[in-house]
Amino acid sequence: MPSDQSTWLVAVPLDGDSEGLLQEITPKLLQQSKANVVAQLTIPVFKTGTLDGLISLSEDLPKQESFFTTTVAKTVDTLRNLLNNDPSKLNQHILVNEQSVDDYIMKDWKWNEGRYGFQRGLREIVDALNKEMTSIDNAMKAKLQNYNLVKGSLVQMQRKKTGNLSLRSLVDVVSKDDFVQDSEYLETLLVAVPKSNVKDWNSKYERLTSMVVPRSSTSIASDEEYTLFSVVVFRRVHDEFAQKCRENKFIVRDFVFSEEEFAKQHQELEMADTTEKELWTELLRLSRTNFSESIQILVHLKVIRLFVESVLRYGLPANYIGIAIKPDPKSAKKTFGLLQTQFSYLRPRSNSNRAKSGRGDGDEFVGEYQTLMEQEFFDFVMFEVPWIVY
């Protein structure tokens, strides 16, 4: 049973009029649910090559499809992260040539002959698709890694500006006027005092050591946990005063006022913020473009799988009709049952050709193509394009 969260791509041998078959099955599917969407999917007539070549492709294509699907999913995840998982914004970027994925598949889908001329061999086309998808995957990895490095650096800088006064950067908290300037003997220390200990600080700080300037303590800032005080002491008692503060649960901040350092930190933060925004825009644009490209490559690969499996299953001439079905999840099981009933006449034909492909020349031949024989078969060929869940 296929997933009820995917679009089904079905292929069956065409013995007559393709429009007639589509006109016959569409009303039945809509009778199951008016929410079902049905469209014809044109399957080109590729060069079939040898039976061994087709079987080799049949074994390789699932691996390629898994890689392609993963690349599409990673691109969607990147877009989700960039857009803060906002469904409405994501919907504006999950597009294929400026149209929805549904419209791309369900509105007269055609093979892109300009890029993947089907006069070439199947293996050559698959290699071209794989080369393009690998290029997309590598470009996304490189751009995402670069963005994450800059984003991480920015977050680290911003994190210094958050937290309580015992931890956070004090660049935006203090000013030049809070410090004794150009003194050979005196210096200003900054002390974060727990709010519950403020009275204790006010009564003790002048006597923690000798050589503390009386009444020099000034409250600079306060948050929910700490109050930041400045205090003036003689440089020679710096270490002793810091030790006494620790013993009393007062936290001396390791901070030296420098206008040059302030300017440098502000400049670095602004530069990191600007760079992050630029890379965010570039990555968003690249992800949007690569989603469009990767979905198209994935669907083209699935159409090749439809063709290859149809030839192996039903034989030549290679005349098959493709049908794209977007099922109503509420009635997907019944819809699939209808397809099984509709195409039950293919059962003897499908089984016969499978036997020829896998059981013709003894145990050695069976062993060579065991993977192919172990695949799950329906009476018709079906592959799925997973939906993008917003």
Q: Tell me the pLDDT tens digit for each residue of 1-50.
A: 889 999 999 999 887 665 678 888 999 999 888 999 999 999 998 998 89
For the entire predicted model, the pTM comes to: 0.78
Q: Is the peptide bond before 317 cis (omega within 30 degrees of 0)?
A: yes
**Distances, alpha carbon 80 to alpha carbons 96, 133, 283, 291, 334, in Å:** 17, 20, 12, 12, 33
pLDDT, residue 351, reads 52
What confidence score (pLDDT) does residue 143 get?
A: 97
Comparing C-alpha atoms, which of 266, 199, 198 is closest to residue 228?
198
Tokens for 125, please give them: 């086309």
Which pLDDT value is given to residue 16?
A: 62
Domain residue ranges in the chain? 6-153+275-386, 176-256
Please, what CATH class does the domain formed by 6-153+275-386 belong to?
A: mainly alpha
From residue 196, alpha-carbon distances to 210, 218, 287 in Å are: 25, 17, 52
Question: Which one, of 376, 309, 301, 326, lies nearest residue 13 by Cα?
Answer: 309
Say what the pLDDT of residue 348 is. 65
Does residue 111 contact residue 42 with C-beta atoms inside 8 Å? Answer: yes
CA atoms within a 13 Å half-sphere pointing along the CA-CB vector of 84: 0
Residue numbers in the chain where pLDDT is lower than 50: 355-374
Could you give the CA distance from residue 316 to residue 314 in angstroms, rounded to a whole number? 7
Contact 344, 380 (CB under 8 A): no
Top-level class of domain 176-256: alpha beta
6-153+275-386 and 176-256 agree in CATH topology: no
Secondary structure of residue 77 in the 3-state scheme: helix
Q: Could you count the other beta carbons within 10 Å of the beta carbon of residue 94?
A: 21
d(C-alpha 339, C-alpha 200), whole Å: 82
DSSP 115: T
Q: Which residues pair with 189 in a beta bridge?
A: 231
